[in-house]
Amino acid sequence: MSFQGQVVIVTGGGRGIGRAIARAFAQEGAKVVICSRTRTELDSAAEELDELGAEVLSCETDVSEPDDVAELVDKTIERFGGVDILVNNAGVWIPGSAENYPLSDLQTTMDINVHGVFLCSQAVFDSMADDGGVIVNVSSVRGLEGYPRMAAYSASKFAVNGLTEALAREWQSHDIRVNAVCPGPVDTGFADGEERDASRILPEDVADATLFLASEDAEHVTAETLVVSKQDFEYEQYD
């Protein structure tokens, strides 16, 4: 598949899954915009994408802040003229027992994982409304079943899946497709030189699924959640 000349925004694009997604789009000829709250990660990712020959824009952005999101989209349009694809990947995971889970951690989880997806999707609507576009939300299998010690995270990803379906049906008349990828456990440590956990998928596996949903091969696919996992939805204990 080719994304030659298409403009892609990847939130949380400085590391892990987001960086793998940005790299995959760059390798297929896309103009890539990455954002993150951490400048050092952005600089490292942007350098890698530049070495691949991609046109790259990096923006220090907190997706839970409306002004930051508006600035991200404005800079993208100013640089590249519009937005063809948005990948809502930025997210946080703060595990803990529900009986004493801090309200501040719940608020942070919802602000980034849910409000960020909504704000970014809303911000690109005008750019996509006339000619169509694609939104892919990176959710989780934890948004398909609730898990112990992950009440806030599971709730946020359930919300992302519901938001995906609602936006897909509301914006279908504008030729905007909205889908979600639901990864199982991802071995992000392997990229940092650690021994690979063969029971987990790699960030590149999530990237492959994301590119498929963004491609013409999936032109009739919308309001769907695509599970990418090597494991059944078994319960795991997290400290």
pLDDT tens, position by position, 102-149: 999 999 999 999 999 999 999 999 999 999 999 999 999 999 999 999
CA distance 203 to 189: 10
207's tokens:
């990237």
Residue-wise pLDDT for 143-185, tens only, equals 999 999 999 999 999 999 999 999 999 999 999 999 999 999 9
Q: Which domain holds residue 151?
A: 7-228
In a domain, 17, yes or no: yes
Number of domains in the chain: 1
Handedness of CA 207, 210, 212, 215 (dihedral sign): negative
Residue 167 near residue 178, CB atoms below 8 Å: yes
Mean pLDDT across the chain:
94
The amino acid at 23: R
In a domain, 63, yes or no: yes
Q: What residues contact residue 145 under an 8 Å CB cut-off, 6+ apart?
A: 154, 233
Residue 29 near residue 5, CB atoms below 8 Å: yes
In a domain, 67, yes or no: yes
Q: Give the residue numbers marked as catalytic.
A: 153
Q: What is the pTM for the complete model shown? A: 0.94
CATH assignment of the domain containing 169 = 3.40.50.720
